[in-house]
Amino acid sequence: MKPSESSDIRYFRADGVCVVLDVTPPDLPRILHWGADLGELTQAELRELARISRRQPVANEPDDAPILTVLPENSLGWTGTPGLEGHRDGTCFATRFRVAHTNDTASGVVVHAEDADAGLALDLTVELLDCGLGRMRATLHNTAPGVYTVDGLRLAWPVPLTATDILDFTGHHARERSPQRHEFTQGTYERSGRHGRTGADATLLLLAGESGFRFRQGEVWGVHTAWSGNHTTLAERTAAAESVLAGGELLLPGEIRLDTAQSYTSPWVYASYGRGIDAVSSRFHRFLRAQPHAPRQPRPVTGNCWEAVYFNHDLTRLTTLADAFAGIGVERFVLDDGWFRGRRHDKAGLGDWYVDEAVWPHGLHPLVDHVRALGMEFGLWVEPEMVNMDSDLARAHPEWILAPAGRMPPEQRHQQVLNLGNRDAWAYVRDRLDALIGEYRIDYLKWDHNRDLIDPGDQAGGVAGVHAQTVAAYALMDHLKATHPGLEIESCSSGGARCDLEVLQHTDRIWASDCTDAHERQMIQRYTGLLVPPELMGAHISADPNHQSGRRLSLAMRAATAMFGDLGIEWDITGIPAQDRADLADWVAAYKQWRGLLHSGDVVRLDHPHQALWAHGVVAADRETALFCAVMMESSAYAPPGLLRLDGLDAARVYRVEPLESSRRAIDPHCPTAPPWWPDGLVAPGNVLCAHGFQVPDLPPDTPLVLAVTALDQQGSL
């Protein structure tokens, strides 16, 4: 990806997207176009594009029209949210950066700018990656004597007036990633997270698009603030028709104070454009799959013991469970909460990362050895950033708790936060985890984070500590992975409350939600999957009735939902009937058969006109195979629900479509009549499947139809 040779306009193109960036001195860069590829443009055409994009001043504005740069400045007439907020003891409250030099890189530019009056320098990086994903971040340097306090640094991606609708997300524990839509109006729509972690109510993406945009329709622009601490993302539109999507870290008062020669680097603000939400989503998937630590081997089926035994750890019971897991094809056994000293309930023990001798007199070795003898990997639950007040650690080092001097924050889930910004606390956790991983050759850590950072002060300095805590958590994860090659870490945070692109640079999987109810998980996974590809999204088959909701759901519904993620089992299967265990083994086998596709293909979400029918799938990059799932999420006013169109297939090829056998067995008892193609499957050209569709059975609510799609030839004829 190379810029044009123009000295003042940079033109980047990748995968149907382009960014036209005006880096003409002296002002900071401004994005003239971010969106659909404009094709080959000459230097003269780029300059003309810049000229025709510049607006004229209107009544009651500065005589020179305000300029919107990627770090918006009030000194250029911008009266919206400023890109940089800060001061020197009340002075230098606004900046006027001037570009000193610009360096081209393989995927973008790095611009160095200075404000001599404020004593600041700025290194601003703007990139368009090969997958068509844009991103920006900035490093601010204090170049003058004295302290400069940073109150906020946000970077902005402009969007056109054609973006009339906003889609963002909210939620709470066990119901993460709930969508909400509204009009993109004048003013500022801000989504800020002050949980000290990403948050269950965080907007995974902030999307703006054409009226009524859907998964496969309409132009869509979206941004994501890649940060696991406090953060902000906003959509802003002025009366001058200028609109931006912007983001950055949300800094607490006095949290970033730069002394002379010190610097602060903002999070990456990612930007994705496409026609339809799926196109926006696919860029994030391709970006994550291209990372050096992305999975290169099949993801192991995980068996987690939490909902099977909770805190009731017993070697015989757990080895029996391990035997049952291995018998149905599980490839990794995870020992969850309850293995360390004093941990018989959730009110004690956090921080005392030693195996409880009262429960495990020989350590974990008997269980670990048994698990490995069955051919499974071994994983362990930890919550390294937290501490119970009823623990040896808290009694020995109360000064290690993240709290303002003189008071304790309110407890949440009977715990406080261990201040990893304290070097001694960080070193203690590092040493204990190093010792555990080394002794037991642990393959996988389920890394939990079960409370918000409320009143998050550093007792020694009296300053806010969310930024330092976030950086320290990343550093701890990086240390463990570097010291123990092959170690995988799952980001769990009361379920899905730490789900962002930056934590995925340090971990290998997201636990999407503590709610394992498959009906609820359809929505949670549908929208978590906009950012997170299936192989990085933990999805487990759990018990009936569900432990969180009490809902009764068939094994087919629970399994078909989980198989479109990184599948696991969270269920005491030792006492279930033999037929249920055999059916479960069939679903695990089907997942293994298809996981190569599920964890590499393009995710497709179907825009069915019937709102009760949710359908999605994964299509191989070569369009040879696909796996789709359709579920009636509620009873319908229509029976049958009408033609189902597939999408993402090759219009010129012929495909066989047939239900998975395990899915067929689950549907047949509930559908005494079915479409004519049902007994033997159907064969049709891709253009017929995509543009016309086919009748599906009259599905009862929460009964999934899983369809295998296989190309027969390349001639496009029967």
For residue 509, give both structure tokens.
């999987």
For residue 581, give both structure tokens.
């265990």
| Residue where the block lists tokens 């020694």 | 460
Three-state SS for 549-570 is CCCCCCHHHHHHHHCCCEEEEE
Greatest Cα-to-Cα distance within the chain, rounded to the nearest angstrom? 81
Closest CA to 45 of 33, 58, 62, 60: 33
Cα 380 to Cα 489: distance, rounded to the nearest angstrom: 10
Closest CA to 653 of 626, 623, 681, 627: 623
Is there a catalytic annotation at residue 151?
no
Cα 329 to Cα 317: distance, rounded to the nearest angstrom: 19
Find out whether 131 and 15 touch, Cβ atoms under 8 Å: yes
Q: Is the peptide bond before 704 cis (omega within 30 degrees of 0)?
A: no
Which helix (H) or strand (E) is 666 found in, with range?
Answer: helix 661-667
| Residue where the block lists tokens 């056109």 | 160
In a 10 Å sphere around its CB, with 0-12 CB exposed, 13-18 middle and 19+ buried, how is residue 546 labelled? buried
Q: Is the peptide bond before 300 cis (omega within 30 degrees of 0)?
A: no
276 Ramachandran zone, left/alpha/beta (phi>0; psi -120 to 50): left
Find out whether 657 and 694 touch, Cβ atoms under 8 Å: yes
Find out whether 250 and 231 touch, Cβ atoms under 8 Å: yes
* C-alpha dihedral (282, 443, 361, 308), degrees to nearest 10: 30
CA count, 13 A, side-chain hemisphere, 439: 14
* Strand 187-193 relative to strand 148-159, pairing: unpaired
According to DSSP, residue 239 is labeled: T
Positive or negative CA dihedral for 265, 294, 302, 705? positive
Q: Which residues contact 661 (CB under 8 A, 6 or more apart)?
A: 586
Three-state SS for 467-531 is HHHHHHHHHHHHHHHHHCCCCEEEECECCECCCCCCHHHCCCEEECCCCCCHHHHHHHHHHHCCC
Is there a catalytic annotation at residue 104?
no
Find out whether 209 and 219 touch, Cβ atoms under 8 Å: yes
In three-state secondary structure terms, 289 is helix
461 Ramachandran zone, left/alpha/beta (phi>0; psi -120 to 50): alpha
Cα 581 to Cα 576: distance, rounded to the nearest angstrom: 7
In a 10 Å sphere around its CB, with 0-12 CB exposed, 13-18 middle and 19+ buried, how is residue 575 labelled? exposed
Find out whether 414 and 445 touch, Cβ atoms under 8 Å: no
Closest CA to 213 of 179, 170, 171, 175: 179
Find out whether 184 and 164 touch, Cβ atoms under 8 Å: yes
| Residue where the block lists tokens 């998050």 | 456
Find out whether 612 and 700 touch, Cβ atoms under 8 Å: no
* Catalytic residue (choose from 448, 458, 500, 647): 448
According to DSSP, residue 534 is labeled: G
In three-state secondary structure terms, 631 is strand
How far is residue 307 from each of residues 120, 304, 556, 573, 680, measured CA to CA in Å?
Answer: 54, 8, 19, 11, 39
* Catalytic residue (choose from 352, 514, 517, 586): 514
Q: Which are the catalytic amino acids?
A: 448, 514
